[in-house]
């Protein structure tokens, strides 16, 4: 990231590498005060990656790094192309094609890895902007785009209406793309309402986080009944204060298991969170959140529910 910024002549807020490192990662072991603080970290990394060459190199490096350091063989990379084109200064198709080139290069170097791209919508975007993201995902489905997602801060912190992207989700699903939705990580009562709305109206294949469901047996039953898999990121949830500590992590996982809610384990960005997938599993085993058999099952499930190779592209 440091080198990419300098190669592009980006004026960074510091000339000291280690200070920069603290700016683009959750470097404080106490985490961040809230998700808005995390979004500020994302903003800087998105700025640096806002060029075709930076996107290509980032995708290629992420796939190669995951395989070399963790032997990850199934990897979905998700990013918002509109947050990497400098507000329209860069052509959106060039940004997406750069990511595809990075994917293609990595597939040649690491043929053992199944990798795909998930294009992200954003809660701060208009309905039309989010539709553009979905249309681009469909356009490049045959080139390695495997799904769509939505994340980002709530505008003004208010409850977000997920029904406004119902058409977007249906269009993506009809085209054969996988659908995952970031929801139910935090937000108290608002977060629980949003999670219920997503399960009832959008019916995604997967949900990013969704940990608030552990407080609501009826919601867990609905998720199980809809065969939705949660993507749970323990370290991220601890660092963002979505879960207060090890005890709450353990209680959350035991509730999901007791109610038969399917879940996978993820990192939410290993570089930013200073973690790896192995670290996540080691944490869960150490604190008694999962047994070894449950950890193995969650790992296998991650491969099984991946969007890579699991969809049939729409016919022209």
Residues labelled as active-site residues: 185
CA distances from 244 to 188, 240, 297 (A): 13, 9, 26
Please identify which residue in the block is written with the tokens 């090890």: 246
Please tell me the distance from the alpha carbon of residue 109 to that of residue 140, in angstroms, as a whole number. 22
Instruction: Using alpha carbons, select from 241, 237, 254, 247 the residue that is nearest to residue 182.
Output: 237
| 3-class DSSP assignment, residue 168 | helix
Long-range contacts of residues 124-128, Cβ cutoff 8 Å, at least 24 apart: 124/152, 124/153, 124/155, 125/82, 125/152, 127/164, 127/165, 127/168
What tokens does 240 get? Answer: 């963002």
Backbone angles phi, psi at 231, to 5 degrees: -105, 100
DSSP codes, 63-86? HHHHHHHH---EEEEEE-GGGGTG
| 3-class DSSP assignment, residue 244 | coil
How far separated are the first and last CA of the chain, in Å rounded?
Answer: 39
Please tell me the distance from the alpha carbon of residue 214 to that of residue 219, in angstroms, as a whole number. 8
Widest pairwise Cα distance in the chain: 53
The full length of the chain comes to 316
Helix (H) or strand (E) holding 212: none
């Amino acid at each position: 990231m440091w080198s990419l910024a300098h190669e592009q002549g980006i004026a960074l807020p510091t000339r000291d590498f280690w200070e920069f490192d603290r700016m683009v990662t959750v470097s404080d072991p106490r985490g961040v005060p809230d998700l808005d603080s995390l979004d500020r970290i994302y903003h800087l990394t998105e700025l640096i990656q806002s060029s075709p060459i930076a996107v290509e190199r980032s995708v290629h490096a992420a796939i190669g790094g995951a395989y070399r350091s963790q032997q990850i063989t199934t990897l979905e990379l998700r990013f918002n192309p509109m947050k990497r084109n400098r507000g329209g200064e860069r052509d959106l198709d060039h940004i997406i094609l750069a990511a595809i080139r990075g994917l293609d290069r990595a597939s040649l170097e690491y043929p053992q890895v199944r990798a795909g791209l998930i294009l992200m919508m954003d809660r701060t975007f208009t309905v039309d902007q989010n539709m553009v993201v979905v249309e681009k995902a469909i356009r490049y489905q045959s080139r390695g785009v495997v799904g769509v997602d939505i994340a980002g801060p709530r505008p003004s912190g208010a409850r977000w209406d997920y029904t406004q992207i119902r058409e977007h989700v249906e269009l993506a699903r009809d085209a054969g793309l996988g659908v995952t939705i970031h929801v139910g990580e935090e937000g108290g009562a608002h977060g629980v309402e949003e999670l219920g709305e997503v399960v009832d109206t959008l019916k995604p294949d997967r949900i990013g986080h969704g940990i608030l469901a552990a407080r609501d047996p009826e919601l867990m039953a609905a998720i199980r009944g809809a065969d939705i898999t949660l993507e749970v990121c323990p370290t991220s949830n601890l660092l963002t204060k979505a879960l207060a500590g090890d005890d709450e992590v353990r209680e959350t996982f035991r509730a999901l298991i007791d109610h038969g809610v399917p879940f996978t384990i993820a990192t939410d960005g290993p570089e930013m969170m200073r973690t790896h997938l192995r670290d996540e599993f080691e944490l869960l085993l150490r604190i008694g959140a999962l047994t070894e058999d449950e950890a193995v099952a969650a790992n296998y499930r991650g491969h099984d529910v991946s969007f890579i190779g699991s969809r049939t592209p729409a016919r022209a």
